[in-house]
Structure 1
Amino acid sequence: MAKIGRFKSDQARETYEAAYAALAASWPLPATELDIPTSFGSTHVRRSGSGSGTPIVLLPSFGGNGLYWDFIVEDLARDRIVYAPDTIGVAGKSVQTAPIVGEADFATWFNEVMAGLGVGDVHLLGLSQGAWHASLVALHGPERLASVTLIEPNGIITKMRWTVLAKILRFGMNPTDEKWRKMTAWLTPGVTMSDAEFACARAALGYQTGLGWSRVLDDVELRSIATPLLAIFGGESVVCDPEAAVRRIADRVPNADTEIYPGMGHGVLDQIPEQVVPRVLHFLRQHDRLAAPAE
């Protein structure tokens, strides 16, 4: 994890910025956009909502950015502020200037962003690769966390099957539009991206990431997570073994809830937001904290 993420060319950056701007038009709430300086570069954050509930911070999946959450942000922000950062080291409006050398650096980055925002306690929610990033915060810098929610945490609780990895790698070697749509249909069945979403995700391939990949957490690491945790899985997910993951969490994480949605895939949040979002909000309200100043 010792590289600095950057666009492959000026043309790749311009293409992405145009796609990003088009996607931003779908954000349904008033938003304040902020650029927070950190040791690893400037982090772009979109802030929406208001209320007394403990704020939520959202970390998107691989290839995504803070705009991904447009379809659920209204529900999340009804009684609290929601922060949607563009993760450092991946495509977005954040600009990485120093490498994330080790896993603990990710927690350092996160907490520097929170300090720059003037935020104390937060609920952290990560989707897919964002669940890996949320796990790193829970392991290495959980001081601000009221809770952590992991949605489809592939390759973190149980190993991803080699056949899945091989298929993803083959796609990465020649990511045509046709292959992209086939990959999406296989990885997240029942989920259809809008034209704007597809264009932005496609343009993100023009960015060379500066972050590494997830790994399976060992037993000591899982047992060390003291932050209240919710893990959500699609019952038919191709990227993990939901039943085995739930058993492992129950046996090793001291303060955890889990939920498996039968018949749903890796895109469970997109497939049934009307079920997943209320489940998440119920968990968050159980662990809301009184507002506290940032350190």
Structure 2
Amino acid sequence: MARIGRFKSDEAREAYLRTYEAMAGLWPVPAALTDVPTSFGPTHVRRSGAGDGVPLVLLAGLLATSLHWHSIIEGLVRDRAVHAFDTIGAPGRSVQTAPLAGDAAYGAWFAEVLDGLGLDRVHVLGESSGAWHATLAGMHAADRVASVSLIEPNGVIARTPWRALLKVIRFGGNTTDEGWRRMGEWLTPGVTMTDVERANAKASQGYRLAAGWARPLKDAELESFAPPLLAIYGGESVVSDPVAAQRRLAERLPSAEVEVYPGGHGVRGQVPDQVTARVVEFLARHDTAVRLDR
């Protein structure tokens, strides 16, 4: 049964929002904020940048929000407007009011947010569980999507190993500082959270998620995926299998581009300049394709 995401209590929400406002102080460029009405609830959007490039939408990973792109946003806004969403059904300033019943509902939500922003067609960049939501946008709102870029799309192209899932669950039950430290060393080695980021992540556990979990795409879904696709992996990731993903894409969607960098699940934080440059180059190529289509 589809659920509605919500904070466990008013106190949990207030505590979380204090950490959210502290996180906002990490955003390094000017931003305009708006709350877009949708049939699933108001969606909070942070807009930065300008330019002739097709706009870009950012979808963050598990327990993360629009603000978690602060470390690479400067590199993304040089040629285009960038709209970072707080995903509905996840912690943040979006407020879910109706359930997302099935994968297609994410496409409907995504399209409604674009309508509210007055955007016709956009690129989409998602990370981790946000990569799953970006994939759903590419599947179920394909006419609105110029390209899809995925960073560490665990469980989308290739299955996440069961042992990794079990370890995530075990770590999730240990909310002590030591538990968070050990999980970070295992999941995102080489990436160190700031005190502000850690406080926000811990406070996000006061939210009951309803944002949906990734599943491997079926062969037919992968073969019919319409938007140009870029998948970026950390070669030492414990939750992704870049070798299996690259092999499957070569078989089922040979037009897809795959990049594997040294690093783990936190590859964006380990080699931010390389990841950003690769995404920006991919977007620029498909800006041209979109303009020619018109």
| More strand per residue | 1
Contact conserved, 1:35 with 1:43, CA < 8 A, in 2?
Answer: yes
Distance 2:26 2:292 in 1: 30
**Partner Cα distance (1:278, 1:234) in 2:** 16
Contact 1:226 1:254 in 2 (8 A): no
Equivalence for 1:174: 174
Partner of 2:141: 141
Give the counterpart letter for 1:202 in structure 2.
Answer: K
User: How far, CA to CA, are the matches of 1:72 and 1:240 in structure 2?
Assistant: 22
1:124 aligns with 2:124: yes
Alignment of 1:99-114 (within 5 A): 99-114=99-114
Give the aligned partner of residue 280 of structure 1: 279
Q: Greater shift after overlay, 171-180 or 68-77?
A: 171-180
1:33–1:46 Cα contact (<8 Å) kept: yes
In structure 1, distance between residues paired with 2:168 and 2:145: 32
Query: Partners in 2 of 1:136 and 1:46 — Cα distance?
Result: 21
Amino acid at match of 1:273: P
Counterpart in 2 of 1:219? 219
Q: What's 2:151 paired with? A: 151
Give the secondary-structure state (helix, strand or coil) at the position aligned to 1:38.
coil
The aligned residue for residue 256 of structure 1 is: 256
| 1:169-208 → structure 2 map (5 Å cutoff) | 169-208=169-208
User: Which runs of 5 or more residues in structure 2 are unaligned?
Assistant: none
Does the 8 A contact of 1:120 with 1:292 survive in 2? no
CA contact (8 A) 1:4 1:98 kept: yes
Measured against aligned partners, the alpha-carbon deviations of 1:112-151 in whole angstroms (never above 9, x if no partner) come to 0001000111110000000000111111111111100011
The 5-angstrom pairing of residues 35-74 of structure 1 reads: 35-74=35-74
Give a deviation string over 1:90-117, Cα, whole Å, max 9, x none: 0000000000011100010001000100
Aligned to 1:23: 23
Report the alpha carbon displacement of residue 292 of structure 1 after superposing the two structures with TM. Answer: 10
Unaligned runs of 5+ residues in structure 1 are none
CA distance, structure 2, for counterparts of residue 275 and residue 171 of structure 1 = 30
- Give the superposition deviation at 1:291: 11
Q: Distance in 1 between matches of 2:244 and 2:145?
A: 26
2:7 counterpart residue number? 7
Query: Quick one: distance in 1 between partners of 2:190 and 2:83?
Result: 27
Is the Cα–Cα contact under 8 Å of residues 147 and 228 in structure 2 kept in the other structure?
yes
Distance apart, 1:255 and its partner CA: 2.6
Q: TM-score, normalised by structure 1?
A: 0.96
Would the aligned equivalents of 1:188 and 1:266 in 2 still touch at CA under 8 Å?
Answer: yes
User: Is 2:87–2:211's contact at 8 Å kept on the other side of the alignment?
Assistant: no
Could you say which residue in structure 2 is the equivalent of 1:268?
Answer: 267
Aligned-residue CA RMSD (Å): 1.4
Count, aligned residues: 292
- How far the C-alpha of 1:166 sits from its partner, in A, is 0.7
In structure 1, what residue type is equivalent to 2:74?
E
Distance 2:291 2:271 in 1: 31
Matched position secondary structure for 1:19: helix
- Which piece of structure 1 moves more, 91-100 or 284-293? 284-293
Shift of residue 174, structure 1, vs aligned partner: 3.1
For the residues of structure 1 that align with 2:182 and 2:42, how far apart are their CA atoms?
A: 35
- Amino acid in the other structure paired with 1:45: V
CA distance in structure 1 between the partners assigned to 2:19 and 2:211 by the alignment: 22
Alignment of 1:34 with 2:37, yes or no, is no
Offset from partner CA, 1:244-266 (integer Å, 9 cap, x none): 101111211143111111x3111
